[in-house]
Chains A and B, each alone.
Chain A
């Protein structure tokens, strides 16, 4: 009983605390991953596949506004597509680097603003990584600071 209670409590905690992503990926301009991390590590492949397929949606979204000036395109793409298990959000920078966040569908308290803030944090950390002169653009991101920031956003669960 106590265990159950505990679980419930932790569940509430999850919903009260910041948004937790299940998988976070940074895709380079050429559509290969610079950084991809998912929490339930046993199902990594599934998330990798999801992120990969979401790239099509991202391309579609950015090309639709492509005719217009790039300035008018917003960086935050919003919900790319939902599946029954999770939702995929996208974000593209001006240099065509894409961030993809996969969140659990059961986490219903997710608000758009929270997702936006997650992307903003990602973007800031990514910028910091870019600022590092020892980082060669195109290399996988190995920065520990970036890692820690992403970990903070990932689901703390099991």
Chain B
């Protein structure tokens, strides 16, 4: 396709800068020119719309560039139109005169902004004007022979990036490998994150772009991050795809950083495990079919424990990203994704981040610095690949933390981001915020199932089996066990409702009641049998004081629950103010108190020790130290969270209760039938 960038509208020679040439030829390919050089009007229309200029302006541009007259967009018209778009976006009138000067590149919906940021720099610096038309035509001819510095390809790639979304279904993925191969060959090891879904046209376009650069006006790296940012999360998974230079299954540094970040959002401890359900929810957002996700899981969970370690998580993520970019899933785990190789140089990076607490914000800033370093590296010629995406990622991450810095259920942010990422829509970052917020909230209460709750627990002492299993014998003892299991899961936030609330010395505890207030309410809620909420309050008060320290919630729970087991026990405990002796079996519920951190460890021993022995020591120790004043503001907040958690737990328990009731009915029926059978048989036996 012969392209004269100069175009011939009105016969005037419009000179294009180098960047412009590159950009335009890339856009040209995007618009699917047919053999005669006419561009698909639909694509052109798309492009124009993406420039976000008013329709009237677009019509004007069409007219001025000559396409209206000709009836189609030829090369020249197209190029002129692009220049006019740039002019219009810069505020110049749509006329041929305005495009003779130096103009920035036209901006197209959202993603182009970085391109523009980049290119203006480039265009100013590069000597675009001097470009003979022929050179641009050359590249346009897709001679992938000239390989300018990889920067240019990157630039062009980035230019292409914004287009990918509108064009995603354009081309078939299978083409990608071939183009990628070409890329890699030409890129001399640059990893081109041309990982948009189904963007073969962009790839050839990129190649084109690369070839076009007879000039090496390269200013790539620093701008990359900015550009990628605009491209936003969707690009992230795409870009972070494949290291085409070597092996599509190798994880690049930037990708690894991104995965690390994601992992942290799901699970603070990089050495810990992401549970199956959590991972499932997370990866489901990638919108891959369940069958493929299942296969990816099989490939990546090498130790078959139903949870993902960090390397496994990286593997799974990488496979998902690869799949989304059109790579077929392998039958076996590729060697580069085996658990061993993952610990490449990124380990150093990770270690730096590992030291960070769960505060994602800090991580992202750290990551940002690393990104900058990597940017520098890129300039030095290291593979670029995921950098842009990672940068985006970082920025996304930064945004997220800003929104909800210390959300313990940070997974919510991640899924939100991933939703946007996987939706392949260049959502502006702001749009993520409401999503995130809305998602995070439901998430905190989302532990509607005991399993979820249990998974959220910081440290379930034993792997909680499914509640139904415990229903096999609906005896009261099992109920306790069941509660125990349930409570382990629910530990994370609420005090299990004790079966009964022994009368507590109210007066003394009233000052401490405030923090306990929510607990008592929770307890009341959770204890369907227990109707006397006043007792709870007292319990709370009594328990709150010592519990405020840390174990109070447990204790409190112990209080009400102990009531079931033995009111007499309550008496002595009253003295200790810590219902300690009443620690009934139910205590197991009490996973958390307002002081969440304190409770899990405290709760751990509790389930195993029905005796109240542990209690007496703790309450006495803490009781004395508890100043009542501390209860007020901070506790209130804690109380509220505890209330929420308790409500959750309450819902869970109610459900359990109903299930158990049903089982009981079934068992009763069985019993009845058996008895009737027995009756029938008895006369026979007796005779």
Residues of A within 8 A of B (CB): 128, 131-136, 142-145
Contacts and interface: CB of A to CB of B under 8 A. Distances in A.
Contact of A132 (B276, B284, B331): B276
A135 B276 CA distance: 10
Contacts of B298: 128, 132, 143-145
Contacts of B297: 132-134
11 contacts: A128-B298, A131-B276, A132-B294, A132-B306, A134-B284, A134-B294, A134-B297, A136-B290, A143-B294, A143-B295, A144-B331
B342 interface: no
Nearest to B282: A133
Interface in B280-317: 280, 283-284, 290-291, 293-295, 297-298, 301, 304-306
Contacts of A128: 298, 304
Nearest to A132: B297
Contacts of A134: 280, 283-284, 290, 293-294, 297
A137 to B, nearest CB: 11
A27 to B, nearest CB: 20
Contacts of A142: 291, 294
A81 to B, nearest CB: 28
A128 B305 CA distance: 8
A132 B301 contact: yes
Contact of B306 (A133, A136, A143, A144): A133
A92 to B, nearest CB: 16
A136 B305 CA distance: 17
Interface of B: 276-277, 279-280, 283-284, 290-291, 293-295, 297-298, 301, 304-306, 331
A135 B304 CA distance: 14
A113 B608 CA distance: 40
A71 B297 CA distance: 32
Is chain B's interface secondary structure helix, strand, loop, or mixed overall?
helix
A12 B304 CA distance: 36
Contacts of B280: 133-134
Contact of A135 (B283, B284, B294): B294
A144 B331 CA distance: 8
A145 B300 CA distance: 12
Contact of B295 (A131, A133, A136, A144): A144
Given A142-B294, A143-B298, A145-B298, A131 B304 contact: yes
Given A133-B277, A143-B295, 5 more contacts: A132-B294, A133-B306, A134-B284, A143-B298, A145-B298
A134 B331 CA distance: 17
A147 to B, nearest CB: 10
Contacts of B301: 131-132
A133 B276 contact: yes
A131 B276 CA distance: 8
Contacts of B294: 132, 134-135, 142-143
A88 B334 CA distance: 39
Contacts of A145: 298
A131 B280 CA distance: 11
**Central interface residue in A131, A133, A142, by most chain B CB within 10 Å:** A133
A-B pairs, 10 with minimum CB distance? A133-B276, A133-B280, A131-B306, A134-B294, A134-B293, A132-B297, A128-B304, A145-B298, A134-B290, A132-B294
Nearest to A135: B294
B305 A131 contact: yes
A136 B284 CA distance: 13
A136 B277 CA distance: 11
A145 B294 CA distance: 11
A128 to B, nearest CB: 5
B304 A133 contact: no
A136 B276 CA distance: 12
A133 B279 contact: yes
A143 B331 CA distance: 11
A131 B297 CA distance: 10
A131 to B, nearest CB: 4
A143 to B, nearest CB: 6
A149 B279 CA distance: 25
Nearest to A146: B298
Contacts of B291: 142
Contacts of B304: 128, 131
**Central interface residue in A132, A135, A136, A143, by most chain B CB within 10 Å:** A132
Nearest to A139: B290
A136 to B, nearest CB: 8
Nearest to A94: B469
Contacts of B293: 134
Nearest to B294: A134
A120 to B, nearest CB: 15
Nearest to A124: B304
A131 B304 CA distance: 7
Nearest to A95: B469
Contacts of A144: 295, 298, 331
A96 B291 CA distance: 25
Contacts of B279: 133
A135 B292 CA distance: 11
A145 B304 CA distance: 12
A138 to B, nearest CB: 13
Contacts of B277: 133
Nearest to B291: A142
Nearest to B279: A133
A132 to B, nearest CB: 5
A41 B279 CA distance: 38
B684 to A, nearest CB: 19
A132 B280 CA distance: 9
A155 B443 CA distance: 50
**Central interface residue in B294, B301, B304, by most chain A CB within 10 Å:** B294
A132 B307 CA distance: 9
Nearest to B275: A133
A83 to B, nearest CB: 34
B447 to A, nearest CB: 16
A32 B184 CA distance: 51
A135 B294 CA distance: 7
Nearest to B284: A134
B376 to A, nearest CB: 40
B670 to A, nearest CB: 12
Nearest to B472: A70
Contacts of B306: 131-133
**Central interface residue in A131, A132, A134, by most chain B CB within 10 Å:** A134
Contacts of A135: 294
A143 B305 CA distance: 16
Nearest to B304: A128
A133 B304 CA distance: 11
Contacts of B331: 144
A132 B301 CA distance: 8
A142 B329 CA distance: 15
Contacts of A143: 294-295, 298
A119 to B, nearest CB: 18
A143 B290 CA distance: 11
B471 to A, nearest CB: 14
A132 B316 CA distance: 12
B144 to A, nearest CB: 37
B435 to A, nearest CB: 23
Contacts of B290: 134, 136
Contacts of B284: 134
